[in-house]
A and B are shown apart, each in its own frame.
Chain A
Amino acid sequence: MPAALHAEWTKLRTVAGPAWLLAAVVTLTTAVSALAVQANSCPSGAVCAVDTTRLSLTGVQLGQAVVAVLAVLVIGNEYSTGMIRVTLAAMPRRAVVLAAKAAVLSSLVLAAGVLAVAGSLLAGRLILPGHGFTPAHGFALLSPGTPSVLRAAAGSVLYLALIALLGLGTATIVRDSAVAVGIVLGLLYLFPIVANVVGNAQWHRHLEQIGPMTAGLAIQATTDLRSLPISPWAGLGVLAAWAAGAMAVGGLLLRLRDA
């Protein structure tokens, strides 16, 4: 296993793509969070039902797309260049190969995620007080010392790692980068769009409970937890189930198929 980890790390660090994509995760997440925070304001005297932590972490909704693409490319590029044959010839224990890819990818995404989430919360802490979200108005300054904010931040970092695993599993199943990207982005962004249209309140709630993004992002909520479709950690659990399922099926197919 250590040799496999070393091999996968070499593959990722010697190509320019992953580094740029990780940088893009950090910058896009922080930028979109800053934009979302900048665009909201709470005039004095009004009651604003705004979850400032969740608002500051809005950028994760775009950063997750870049994470998904990175995860898909980690194995998709091997198939498109034909290098998968070399990899599987050198490391015949295929489960180890997939596990090593997952481990290296998750650690990189966790690191980038920490930077991205820290940047988003910093943007929120700096910008929000100037837009009326002051302690006097009932909105505490965003600080990692608050348990709920810490939960939201740590949960968002874990969220990004789980999205990466979901992408890796999907790409292993379909073996084509473009199709895998389409499937993963569709799974993420279509559940809330479809749920929005369904009139039946019960079905709406169920769709939001099983969708990977809608359930996973429940971890970011710090206020009004009763109105969430699913409780925060249970939501992250739903996303973990999606990721585990994708990785399990991918691993099985990797073993059963030719390459």
Chain B
Amino acid sequence: MTAPTITPYRSDAPPGRDGFAQLVRAEWTKLRTVRGWIIGAVIAALVTMGLGWFAGVGGSSSCSSGSGPARSGQACAPQFTEGPGGEPVTDTFYFVRQPLAGNGSITVRVSSLTGELPVMHRGLVNPNQQERFRPGLQPWAKAGLIIKDGTTPGSAYAAIMVTGDHGVRLQSDYTQDTPGLPGAVSPANPRWLRLTRSGDTITGYDSADGTHWTQVGSVRLTGLPPTVQAGLFTTSPIYQSLTENFGGGSNGSEEPSKATGVFDRVSLRGSWPASAWTGSYVGSGDFSPGIGSYRQSQGRFTVTGSGDIAPVVSGPSGPGGPVITIANLLIGTFAGLIALIVVATLFITAEYRRGLIRTTLTASPRRGRVLGAKAVVIGSASFVTGLVAAAAAVVVGEAIARSRQYIFPVSWATELRIVVGTAALIAVVAVLALAVGAMVRRSAAAVTLVIAIVVLPYFLAIIAALPDSVADWIVRLTPAAAFAVQQAMPAYPQVEAIYSPAGGYYPLTWWAGLLVLAGWAALALAAAIALLRRRDA
């Protein structure tokens, strides 16, 4: 008799697959089923949004200077003049002008540019009238020729000028700047300047001796009317005295400075209908209180002016007080970042503490892929959290802030870059925290390490008493460089200001900053995978 055949048991369930997708699903299950980590991610988002809205609400209590608190629902009138591109600009100078109807040119010799700076001690001006000013020239004091579309502040212009410390420059429409002959101006070393208008195109020339001319550049101001104002101008930017308060940022005090330019050998070609010069002060006058004058004697013009023709820069040293950009609304990023660093670190160290790591590594012996799956899961979860939080902070924060204070306008592409960049920053820092946690295997140590290399450099750069050069290198080399994605305003080299992280200006471009952070995260992840493979568990 044969034994009855026994059919071996075969399960009805489909065979399991050992793929990366299954691993990611397993890690996602681990993340979503721990109530504390979900709460942590939610808290991260809420804190980011909350702090951003707080920054939007906590603005200056008055909207435009001297008008008192803004009524709710009323949009805030901009404090600054707007240039042709819509950007906020300062347009203040003393203008000695004649109308130019049609094409023509104006040539002048500048034989001297001197200036006066306010006497300030510890941020305060000397109230004694006689000792308020001392001789001194601002590096960006300007004197030269300008062709401008009328005298309204913010209108289009092209100007060629000598500056205090930067030689001859051709500037137009507030943001364009082209260098010409270098060197300072003195009676022994004069500069000849010429502006030629032909339709919409204005060309600038300079010369050291009046005979050999070099073209500095040519600009096109679209829509220039037939009659424009053209002539001599002088201006000198605000003098800033910065005192550092340790533990509280730095205080800037600003006072106007003056510059005087001496012009002679003025020669006009083309259609200049008037025969006399008009001297007038151009500007909104809200910060530079109408300083300016001119004297004309036998073809020699002495023009004194104060102010600047330049874009406004944001930050604590901006004119008229601190102004904010939408990057300020993302100040909550730090808080959300700390919360997500904790969650990402716990994502791996909790496995070690509870002993789950043995089960995980038994189920998936390919350890590199385990860490890779964890990185994918925590990176995506952090990216989504960061995106939601940053978008809400910016959109709602802007709506809250617009009725209370002036926010610098930025293009929608910049705004998108800032929001998505912040989410990417948060995601990559989470992966970095995961990698450090896998290397160190102790949660408190890992959290401290990651906070120390991501948040502390930013803190040291903007708060602590480190000078700018050291702070610069710290922000360049550490993962905190990635905060450059939040830079909303470009730094203009032709505007003298404190470009520091405290004001929202970072030394690297946004993609370079993200690359630095990604480099740190990649290195950490590679080291973590190597250690995980070599060690026991």
Contacts and interface: CB of A to CB of B under 8 A. Distances in A.
Contacts of B463: 192-193, 196
A76 interface: yes
B459 interface: yes
Contacts of B462: 193, 196
Contacts of B243: 49
Contacts of B335: 186, 190
Interface in B421-452: 443-448, 451-452
A185 B448 contact: yes
Nearest to B346: A178
A69 B448 contact: yes
Nearest to A186: B338
Contacts of B455: 185, 189
A136 to B, nearest CB: 19
B322 A208 contact: no
Interface residues of A, number: 51
A15 interface: no
Contacts of B349: 178
Interface in A189-216: 189-190, 192-204, 208, 213-214
A14 to B, nearest CB: 18
B349 to A, nearest CB: 7
A55 B339 contact: no
Interface string B449-461: 0011001101100
Contact of A54 (B40, B246, B323, B338): B246
A177 B443 contact: yes
Nearest to B433: A178
A56 to B, nearest CB: 10
B331 A182 contact: no
B464 A61 contact: yes
Contact of B58 (A51, A198, A218, A229): A198
B203 interface: no
Given A58-B464, A193-B334, A199 B342 contact: no
B448 A199 contact: no
Contacts of B247: 54, 61, 192, 213-214, 217-218
A190 B334 contact: yes
A256 interface: no
B414 interface: no
Contact of B467 (A39, A73, A218, A229): A39
Given A179-B342, A186-B335, A199-B322, A193 B459 contact: yes
Interface in B312-351: 321-324, 328, 331, 334-335, 338-339, 341-342, 345-346, 349
B249 interface: yes
Nearest to A208: B248
Contact of A182 (B55, B323, B341, B405): B341
Mostly, the B contact residues are helix
Contacts of B323: 199
B444 A76 contact: yes
Contacts of B448: 65-66, 69, 181, 185
Contact of A185 (B55, B324, B338): B338
B466 interface: yes
B248 A214 contact: yes
Contacts of B251: 227
Nearest to B246: A54
Which secondary structure dominates where chain A touches chain B? helix
B290 interface: no
Contacts of A182: 338-339, 341-342, 447, 451
Given A39-B470, A61-B464, A203-B58, A181 B447 contact: yes
Interface in B239-255: 243-249, 251
B61 interface: yes
Interface string A226-243: 010100000000000000
Contacts of A86: none
Contact of B466 (A36, A181, A193): A36
Given A80-B353, A197-B328, A200-B58, A39 B466 contact: yes
Nearest to B321: A199
B183 interface: no
B122 interface: yes
B466 to A, nearest CB: 6
Contacts of B55: 194, 197-198
Contact of B452 (A65, A176, A203): A65
B121 interface: yes
A135 B55 CA distance: 43
Given A76-B444, A196-B463, A185 B451 contact: yes
A16 interface: no
Contacts of B331: 193-194, 197
Interface of B: 40, 51, 54-55, 58-61, 121-122, 243-249, 251, 321-324, 328, 331, 334-335, 338-339, 341-342, 345-346, 349, 353, 405, 443-448, 451-452, 455-456, 458-459, 462-467, 469-470, 502
Interface of A: 35-36, 39-40, 47, 49-51, 54-55, 58, 61-62, 65-66, 69, 72-73, 76, 80, 176-182, 185-186, 189-190, 192-204, 208, 213-214, 217-218, 227, 229
The 9 closest A-B pairs by CB, nearest first: A178-B443, A177-B444, A182-B342, A198-B58, A199-B59, A203-B58, A197-B331, A178-B447, A186-B338
6 contacts: A47-B121, A58-B464, A182-B341, A185-B455, A194-B55, A213-B247
